[in-house]
Structure formats: C-alpha cells, structure tokens
Amino acid sequence: MTIETIGVVGLGNMGLGMAAVLARKGFAVSGYDISEARRAAVEGEGVRFSSSLTDLLGTSDALVFSLPLARDVEAVVTTPGGLLERRDRRIVVVDTSTSDPGTSRRLAGRLAEAGHALLDAPVSGGPSGAAQGTLTMMVGGAAEDYALAAPVLAAMSARAVHVGPSGAGNIVKLVNNLLVAAHLVTTGEAMRLSEAAGLSAREAVAVVNAATGRSAISDVMFPRWILPGTFDSGFSAGLMRKDVRLALELAAESGLDLPLSAHVGAIWEETRERIPDAADFTRMADYRD
C-alpha cells in the first residue's frame, strides 16, 4: 500500500518543518492548524493549508500529528466524521507529540478497531531537525505498521528507531526528557560554580566537553544557545514542565520512588516565575542568574 498524500495536523515550530520536509521529499502534503495565521508560512513551503480538519483526515493516505498535549491528540483521533469512520484504506497515524503511554495505547486500540494504526513517534532534534529532516524518532507500535510508515519516517528523520509496542516511543521520550531536564539544572549549577570560583563558564564548558561530564546540554546547547544568551532553541519551558510531570506520573504509576527526579521536577515548578512557560527551556541552565 503506497503513501502519496500526507496530512500534517499541528503546524507550530515542529509541525511546519516536518510538513515542509515531506513536501520537498515528493509527497503531496496538506496541513491543518487551529490558527489561520499559519496559512502563509505553510503555503510558502509548498504545503496546502486545509481549512477543514475533517477534510484532511478523510483524504490523506497517512497522517502526522504534532500537537502539544495528549488531549489534543485524542480530540483529533475522535473527530466526528474523521478517522474512526474511514473504511477506504488503512491509515497510519505518526504521532510525533510527546504524550503519555496510556493514552497512546488506548487510542491505538480505538484506531485498530476501525482498521487503522497509530505509531507513537516522539522526536528529538528541535525545530532545526524538523526543518532539515534530521530528527531522531522513537517509535512505538506494531512492526507491520512501522514498516507501512517507513517512507514517511525516513523522509522526516535521520534515524527512526522502532523501540517496541504501542506506548514504547513515549516511554523512552519521557525518560530522555527527564534526563535533559536534570542535566539543564546540574550543568547550569556547575557553570555558576565555575564562574563564582574564578573560571569562566566558556572556558569550563570547553574542558567538560572533552571530559566525562559532557552531555548534550554542555556539548550542544551551551555553545549554541546558552553562552551567546540567545535562548532560542524553539522548545518552551512549559513543554518541558509538561514532559517532566508526565515522567513523574509514569514513575508513580510504575510504583517507583525517584527522589532526585522528584527534586528536579520541583525545581522546574518553583522557577515558573523566573522562567515562565513561554520562555525557552534552555534558560534553566543560565549560569548568569
């Protein structure tokens, strides 16, 4: 079964880049967003802006979701007259949103009953990775659905790893982002220590990146967004707070006590006034504060 037309639901920082990449890779791409203001940017990338979500859901061979919250994903999947009522072909939904595993499994079950498939496929790489088609994707779902979606995944990513059954993609993304949240706190504190002790953060991080304390925070985020003070990665503090909350909820559901992770979550919540949800998440590591 070939995939020629792709509908992208959610045309924000990530969704717009993914839609543009898919169009450049030869797919006929339509996009939908609740904001009509996204039309000009989308059409400038060769993507048709659909004013009707129902039309998009009813005419695409495959769908890509890029939405903020699990409830947004559920609302799109259950749209009246949409996916759950289609019977003309098997539709694979590639949900790149960071959601909770339970919601992904439940929605995958509902779509399976209608003859369709849901892959939970959260991504790493940010808006630049989305725009360049170099994302890393962590994919949960059935192997046959992963194979069906392979052309779409290959177009959007440098690497799309099938990590397990439905929900597995979101599990590993929450694990990853919990680590990122912690590393931002600890690396920021370490650089504040270096500055207070008389060595600049720029000099310290250069050494750390050649030693065992390095991470993506020190190696990529510090030189790109934190040392220059631009803080424009394109990922908000509010979204990171959401991901940390989901990770800690998953820990509680799994019967785990994670004291350090819980403290990291508390730090992210307590800094909301200094680093509002709309701010870039890299501000958490600002050693100048």
Residue type, 227: L
Residues contacting 26, CB < 8 A, separation 6+: none
Measured CA to CA, the distance from residue 211 to residue 220 in angstroms comes to: 15
Token pair in block for residue 70: 């699990």
CA distance 26 to 49: 17
How many whole angstroms separate alpha carbon 194 and alpha carbon 205? 9
How far CA 268 is from CA of 133, 191, 286, in Å, comes to 30, 18, 13
Strand residues in the chain grouped as ranges (E): 5-9, 28-32, 48-49, 62-65, 92-95, 117-120, 123-124, 135-140, 157-164
* Beta-ladder partners of 162: 139
CB 285 within 8 Å of CB 185 = yes
Q: Write down how long the chain is.
A: 289
Of 117, 7, 94, 121, give the one whose Cα is nearest residue 54. 7
Euclidean distance between CA atoms 22 and 264, whole angstroms? 37
* Active site members: 173
Decide: 80 and 58 in contact? Cβ < 8 Å. Answer: no
Q: Which tokens sit at 111? A: 């779509």
